[in-house]
A and B are shown apart, each in its own frame.
Chain A
Amino acid sequence: MASLIGSKVERKEDKKFLTGKGRYTADINLAHQTYAYFVRSTHARAKITNVDISKAKKAPGVIKIFTGDDIAREKIGGLIAGWKIVSQDGKDMKVPNHPPLAKDSVNYVGDHIAVVIAESLEEARNAAELVNVSYKILKAIVDTGNAMQSDTIHEGIDNNLCFDFILGDKKKTEESFSTADKIIKLDLRNNRLIPNAMEPRACIGDYNSSSDELTLYTTSQNPHLSRLVLSAFGGIHPEHKFRVVAPDVGGGFGSKIYAYAEDAVTAWASKKIERPVKWVAERSESFLSDCHGRDHITHVELAIKNDGKITGLKVDTIANIGAYASLFATVTPTYLYAPLILGLYDIPSAFINVKAVFTNTAPVDAYRGAGRPEATYLIERIVHKAANEIGMDQAEFRRKNFVDKFPHQQCLVHNIDSGDYKAHLDKALEISDYKNFKNRKSESAKNGKLRGIGFSTYIEACGIAPSAVVMSIGCGVGLWESAEVRFNATGNVSVFSGAHSHGQGHDTTFAQIVGDRLGVAIENIEVIHGDTDKGPFGMGTYGSRSLAVGGSAIAKACDKIIEKGKKVAAHMLEGKPEDIDFKDGDFILRSSNKKKTISEIAFACYLPGQFGDAKSPLPPGVEPGLKETSFYDPVNFSFPAGSHICEVEVDQNTGETKVVKYTAVDDFGTIINPMIVEGQVHGGIVQGIGQALYENSHYDDSGQLTTASYMDYTMPRADNFPQIKIDYTTTPATSNPLGSKGCGEAGAIAAPPAVMNAVIDAIGTDVSMPATAEKVWSAIKKNGYKKAAA
């Protein structure tokens, strides 16, 4: 049997998705269902002086209107930040209460004030227009850089400072800088993005008063975590009577990790009115109230020697986390960011300070890459600048500083198990035809275009999060994963995973792992996820963790199945378990070459009586049934890395930039399904190009989101991209049984600096993301056309 690992198995789930038969939360309609519409703040910062619902209450079809007072009266808990960060002065971070419906104040445009529940959506909306909110409007704090110098948004949180975090050895870093031959400096802005999953968020609360069971259908990347948060902190319903179902979910990119106000409110409201309560976001609500991503301001300095060796790195970042601290908001700009600033270079000293600030903008949280794109952006941008300033070739400068012995203990946190950075750089140089770049540049010049080339040799940390490692750095919660592999009596297999697929293709990849390990045909394997009533507690999908952690749990559960199968087979074949070999689905007794198929073993395990003999096929002490569970906590992060090379052409008349060539060579460790990986890489890269050239979430001074629709927020489209050339090198991860490292975020992490370095190479001057046509045109104008063309 050919190995399923590394094979381009067609996605099992595509048929339903491509024929419109996916079943998303919005597709679910329950008997006696009601419709919720949220009254949202139209101001970025205001005191609520009154919420008058008297008119709205009487509007046709209205069943009930709840406000922040109701939530407070019922003691429904606020939404939480999952990780506590300790500031450099030893004090805990400061976070405000975040009630699902605001009571006294609103803190961003889109903040939730009241919910109108009616017989139809139209009636709910009509009535919502009649809710009269009186505000005392306050000056909005919008700007990341000035937030600390502005009025206090949340009482008791001085300077709007959530935490002031440090990592690294300050003294040693200062020494490196004092002995450096050259110090390179750069100021960067990592632009704020809106995730824009294709499917807007949605949820349905469904309370059953006869059984006292509450079900929440929701667009979640991690239904168990949502249940935990809503139960333990929200006090919505006890966990054992609370079921959270995340059916087909149309993309998340991080924005669907968090339990949102709408989840809490629809679930709770359903208990109050004893009817299902459904809410589906309008696209404008997605823009306003989905957690945004990135939004950093960073100053970075690099100490280097004349020969190009990097000796130190200093970073100061202000991270905007928006109006409240969302679930992963505090861990994203700290533990997912700070340890990664070293990139894949051997840098002996580093120090970083991150100040997280509150502003009157939508909460900012993990978004594809979460912290790692921000880290990669700063190191790759300053490495580009450093190589230029000492007049060294970009590839050469990188090669000189690459880590090349593994395992490698970095000076900050991570111990990198494996990699071969020169291998992917060399391959990328070859595929991108680097040596002939000069010819292409002069060709472009003939057409009046400025051509530039940019590198991004990146590393990231995936497979979040090994408890042992995260606890050692003071980060509270480890994120293991669960799996249950359950044979049915007829020999097919149900696989339950705590990971959640919302575009990643788990139904296929996970089936490949099981099929490969157990010798069962793919079509006889069903992967089940997204329902707290079905599988064991799981942590969900984000941080490119599903395969390295969730897949490993599945592999471990499979191994347990084989172990038990050997016992049963030995008994049936009259040998010893240690004399049984398992291969391609057969248990073979070495001495006699007699065998039992795994399907026969499953049947025997479930229906031992059916064998007719007096003797049961199960050996004494072995329980019937064939089902194993594994909770897998990895021993380390995994460290995907790669080399991306981008070429752009800039039209100097208009400033318009086009990506004309893009090469990505990545090391993801073992690849299970290259076709799915290719899709993930493509998606990531185009998101990264989107950040570099097009996307930007913009608030005006009064805190109004001016990019709140596709008319103003530039989602890139197919015609913005060239053909992307993809290849791989492989060094298997040593930290998990599959050897996989993770691929879901790589493109979004690597691409922004590759593109920006190319733009800067083309125009010969700095420009910030997104490098829109006007910004590039202005930069060229300021810098002079000649210099740019040189």
Chain B
Amino acid sequence: MKNFNFKTATSTKEATKLFSGRAAFLAGGMTLLPAIKLRLAAYSDLINIKKIKTLSGIKASSKSLKIGSASTHVTVASSKEVIKSIPSLSFLADGIGDPQVRNRGTIGGSIANNDPAADYPSACLALNAIIHTSKRKIPADKFFKGMFETDLKKGELIEAIEFEIPEKSSYAKFPNPASRYAIVGVYIAKLKKEVRVAITGASSSVYRSKELEAALTNNFSASAINNINISSADLNSDIHASEDYRAHLIKVMAQKAVSNC
């Protein structure tokens, strides 16, 4: 680890003001610190955002569920509001990594990082989320740009994530046995106006599957997927899973998710 300045902000305003040069916001540090320790990244300044009160808290209305960006995975997993309004989201958070990671890692850090195998980005897409930042509100559809790439500008801080409360939803994940990230994760949500299917782990970035959405819009049942042929083009292939296996898993996980809805 190379030396850096450690600064703690107590308000969003202070955090964005402190952000200058080669700086990074530090939330749970579960992604950032290993990268620094492995010397894959180096910063002049780390700005601790965990002391900013407005970044925590979970609020549910009849239409949406708003989660402060600094909420840890364990907070989301065990929140009564989340379990009541979107139980699949609690289930997702409970399946991230291991207890240590869930105790420190945050929802804001997860989506800011946009790991192609992370779980939360699929929830954001499927639940038509709005990302509230220090500058603006970004719809999830515009937020996730590509592998480890988001629409966030330099020094822009995620404040909260607002999810639409679905009629039904479910998340099915086939974890990488080593890291427990998703080899394939499928988030299915039946919203008021539409059915959304978001897929993580399978490609270079989280994406919505138009063909699964179309099939499920017609007939929201596992059998609707039976005859769909998922193409393996554009899917990841690595030592953990070939593109064909991932394509197969998308279907299996989608069926599982629909059945569990």
Contacts and interface: CB of A to CB of B under 8 A. Distances in A.
A710 B179 contact: yes
Given A122-B1, A122-B3, A126-B2, A774 B241 contact: yes
Contacts of A125: 39
Interface in A693-710: 694, 698, 706-707, 710
A777 B245 contact: yes
Contacts of A706: 239
B252 A712 contact: no
A717 B98 CA distance: 10
Nearest to B251: A653
B107 to A, nearest CB: 21
Contacts of A694: 177-178
A726 to B, nearest CB: 25
A4 B240 CA distance: 49
A711 interface: yes
B174 A654 contact: yes
A714 B39 CA distance: 23
Nearest to A772: B177
Contact of B242 (A654, A714, A774): A774
Contact of B178 (A126, A656, A714, A778): A714
B233 interface: no
Interface centre among B38, B177, B248 (most CB of A within 10 A): B177
A777 B248 contact: yes
Contacts of B252: 653-654
Interface residues of B, number: 19
A627 to B, nearest CB: 49
Contacts of B177: 694, 714, 720, 772-773
A707 B238 CA distance: 11
Contacts of B98: 717
Nearest to A651: B252
B137 to A, nearest CB: 33
15 contacts: A122-B2, A125-B39, A126-B2, A129-B39, A284-B38, A654-B249, A656-B174, A694-B177, A698-B239, A707-B178, A707-B239, A710-B178, A711-B178, A714-B177, A717-B98
A694 B249 CA distance: 19
Contacts, number: 43
A705 to B, nearest CB: 11
Contacts of A402: none
Interface string B205-246: 000000000000000000000000000000000011110010
Given A284-B38, A653-B252, A654-B252, A774 B245 contact: yes
A713 interface: yes
A457 B25 CA distance: 57
Most buried by A among B3, B179, B181: B179
Interface of B: 1-3, 38-39, 98, 174, 177-179, 181, 239-242, 245, 248-249, 252
A715 B249 CA distance: 23
A713 B245 contact: no
6 closest A-B pairs (Cβ-Cβ)?
A714-B178, A711-B179, A774-B245, A714-B177, A653-B252, A706-B239
Given A122-B1, A772-B177, A774-B245, A712 B38 contact: no
Q: How large is the interface on A (under 10, 10 to 19, 20 to 34, 35 or more residues)?
A: 20 to 34
B248 A715 contact: no
A694 B1 CA distance: 31
Nearest to A694: B177
Interface in A641-656: 653-654, 656
Contacts of A707: 178, 239
Given A126-B2, A284-B38, A653-B252, A712 B245 contact: no
Nearest to A125: B39
A712 B239 contact: yes
B93 to A, nearest CB: 17
A713 B240 CA distance: 10
A125 B241 CA distance: 35
A710 B178 CA distance: 6
A706 B245 CA distance: 19
A223 B248 CA distance: 52
A706 B241 CA distance: 14
Interface of A: 122, 125-126, 129, 284, 653-654, 656, 694, 698, 706-707, 710-715, 717, 720, 772-774, 777-778
Contacts of A720: 177
A122 B39 CA distance: 11
A709 to B, nearest CB: 9
Nearest to A700: B239
Contacts of B178: 694, 707, 710-715
A710 B34 CA distance: 12
Contacts of B242: 774
Nearest to B248: A777
A774 B252 CA distance: 13
Nearest to A711: B179
A76 to B, nearest CB: 30
A654 B253 CA distance: 9
Contacts of B38: 284
Given A654-B249, A772-B177, 14 more contacts: A122-B1, A129-B39, A654-B174, A654-B252, A706-B239, A710-B178, A711-B179, A711-B181, A715-B178, A717-B98, A720-B177, A773-B177, A774-B242, A777-B248
A65 B181 CA distance: 41
Nearest to A693: B177
A714 B177 CA distance: 6
A674 to B, nearest CB: 31
Nearest to A706: B239
Contacts of B39: 125, 129
A280 B249 CA distance: 41
Nearest to A126: B2
Contacts of A129: 39
A98 to B, nearest CB: 28
B138 to A, nearest CB: 29
A687 to B, nearest CB: 16
Contacts of B239: 698, 706-707, 712
A717 B179 CA distance: 11
A447 to B, nearest CB: 14
A706 B181 CA distance: 17
A656 B184 CA distance: 14
A356 B146 CA distance: 46
Residue in B3, B178, B239 with the greatest tally of chain A CB atoms within 10 Å? B178
Contacts of A715: 178
A712 B39 CA distance: 19
Contacts of B3: 122
A400 B98 CA distance: 47
Contacts of B181: 711
A711 B249 CA distance: 20
Interface centre among A122, A711, A720 (most CB of B within 10 A): A711
Nearest to A720: B177
Nearest to A698: B239
Nearest to B246: A774
A677 B171 CA distance: 42
A712 B2 contact: no
Contact of A712 (B1, B174, B179, B249): B179
Contacts of A712: 178-179, 239-240
Q: Find the residue from A653, A694, A713 having the highest chain B CB count within 10 A.
A: A653
Contacts of A284: 38
Nearest to A696: B239
Contacts of A653: 252
A646 B15 CA distance: 56
Contacts of A773: 174, 177
Contacts of A710: 178-179
A619 B161 CA distance: 89
A430 B239 CA distance: 41
A654 B245 CA distance: 9
A656 B38 CA distance: 32
A777 B248 CA distance: 10
Most central of B38, B98, B245 by chain A CB within 10 Å: B245
A717 B175 CA distance: 13
Nearest to A716: B177
